[in-house]
């Protein structure tokens, strides 16, 4: 064990997590744990969903934020707190501050979803929009802290934050004492580190698996290097785990106590979100669905019983619409096609008749006649279709070709 790793482990203990649990009594909900028959059949062992998407503010972030702010000295509270976040941490800090009577200023990116901005304001925080990406927003918040004396509340890189998030682990052991594997999404690593501290102290045999989006996976190279390293331009729809560099404190804990870190694709994230909505009747953001994505990607790799932590449900409705469509496309249940036809009366009706024969449900039709690329007697049609799977998509394509249509890539 390296010196830094040993220091990280000493910085957060089981007693800290238990203390945080007492502090959070009556503040954070003990969230439900729901069984999933579909995932259990897929994995070949019981699978339970830990529903932190149903936590107050819509994610686990309230736990760590409250513990951190509650631990401030009176003079620190008087100076107020400041945070930077695109959503979940912002709302956690805003509500925690309101409950504790502390003024909160939250910096959010200019492009943050409007529902998250509105919710943060409604919880009582002063919201300032700055920067296009979270790194710019973070720098602005830290500069504000230096100028005003407000206490900067980091989203994951502080022992109090990690202790608060670790209370999820204690609840898992209470609700599912026989758990064999806990699967949890990872950005900076605060939640995974906290769960690992709590669970490994009481049940060292439990396997803990962290999950990162492949386009924002800073932990695999960091673990290989033995220190936190940055990934440039992290890109994923899962903004809750879109972090370019692990936190120093959680990294040491993760390196020692988390058994494995896996990555998932955008298609797997979309499919997981869709599964949570359709099968579990739970609205989950892409980051929160990352553990389910890992189960879908390699169901035989997780000794049961399995607990998947759905850590957030704050998904922008516009993004939800896009992600659901993406998930349906990945499963062969949604198909978008463009083709050209002769611009004459009845041509569109004929095309729709072909689709009706193969039972493809038309969701949307876009009909273009005036594009310079088109010939004088041509029209271009873009169709959005609901289909029944990959085989049905192939059948639709075959029917269009047999009817004489050329599909445009």
- d(C-alpha 201, C-alpha 197), whole Å: 6
Strands 104-108, 181-185: pairing is unpaired
Residue 9 parent element (H or E): helix 3-11
93 phi and psi, to 5 degrees?
-65, -40
Question: Which among 379, 344, 377, 378 is positioned nearest to 365, based on CA atoms?
Answer: 379
Question: Which among 267, 265, 223, 274 is positioned nearest to 245, based on CA atoms?
Answer: 223
- d(C-alpha 157, C-alpha 12), whole Å: 12
Q: What pLDDT shows up at residue 2? A: 41
> Which positions ≥6 away from 56 have C-beta within 8 Å?
27, 28, 29, 62, 95
Three-state SS for 208? strand
Sign, CA dihedral 121-241-112-319, equals negative
Q: What is the pLDDT of residues 1-32, one digit of tens each?
A: 444 444 545 589 999 999 999 999 999 999 99
Q: What pLDDT shows up at residue 371? A: 67
Question: For the residues 265-277, what does the mean pLDDT come to?
Answer: 91
Q: What pLDDT shows up at residue 5? A: 44
- d(C-alpha 293, C-alpha 288), whole Å: 10
pLDDT for 404 beyond 90: no
């Amino acid at each position: 064990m390296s010196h830094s790793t040993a220091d990280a482990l000493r910085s957060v203990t089981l007693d800290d997590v238990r203390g945080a649990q007492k502090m959070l009594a009556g503040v954070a909900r003990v969230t439900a744990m729901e069984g999933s028959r579909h995932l259990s059949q897929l994995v070949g062992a019981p699978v339970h969903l830990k529903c932190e998407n149903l936590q107050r503010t819509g994610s686990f972030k309230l736990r760590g934020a409250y513990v951190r702010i509650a631990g401030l000295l009176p003079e620190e509270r008087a100076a107020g707190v400041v945070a930077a976040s695109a959503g979940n941490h912002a709302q956690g800090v805003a509500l925690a501050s309101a409950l504790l009577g502390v003024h909160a200023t939250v910096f959010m990116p200019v492009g943050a979803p409007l529902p998250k901005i509105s919710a943060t304001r409604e919880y009582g925080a002063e919201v300032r929009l700055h920067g296009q990406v979270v790194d710019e927003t973070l720098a602005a918040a830290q500069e504000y802290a230096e100028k005003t004396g407000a206490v900067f509340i980091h989203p994951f890189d502080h022992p109090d934050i990690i202790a608060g998030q670790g209370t999820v682990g204690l609840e898992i052991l209470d609700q599912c004492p026989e758990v064999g594997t806990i699967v949890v999404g990872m950005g900076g690593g605060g939640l995974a580190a906290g769960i690992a501290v709590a669970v490994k102290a009481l049940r060292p045999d439990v396997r803990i698996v962290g999950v990162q989006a492949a386009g924002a996976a800073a932990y695999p190279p960091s673990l290989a290097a033995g220190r936190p390293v940055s990934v440039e331009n992290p890109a994923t729809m899962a903004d809750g785990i879109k972090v370019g560099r692990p936190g120093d404190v959680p990294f040491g804990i993760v390196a020692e106590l988390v058994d494995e870190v896996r990555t998932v694709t955008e298609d797997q994230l979309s499919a997981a979100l869709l599964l949570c909505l359709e099968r579990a009747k739970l609205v989950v953001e892409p980051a929160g669905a990352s553990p389910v994505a890992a189960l879908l990607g390699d169901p035989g790799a997780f000794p049961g019983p399995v607990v998947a932590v759905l850590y957030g449900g704050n998904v922008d409705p516009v993004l939800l619409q896009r992600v659901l469509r993406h998930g349906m496309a990945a499963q062969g249940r949604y198909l978008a096609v463009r083709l050209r036809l002769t611009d004459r009366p009845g041509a569109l009706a004929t095309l729709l008749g072909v689709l009706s024969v193969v039972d493809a449900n038309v969701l949307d039709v876009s009909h273009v006649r005036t594009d310079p690329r088109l010939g004088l007697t041509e029209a271009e049609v873009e169709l959005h279709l609901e289909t029944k799977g990959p085989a049905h998509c192939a059948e639709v394509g075959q029917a269009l070709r047999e009817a004489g249509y050329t599909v445009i890539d």
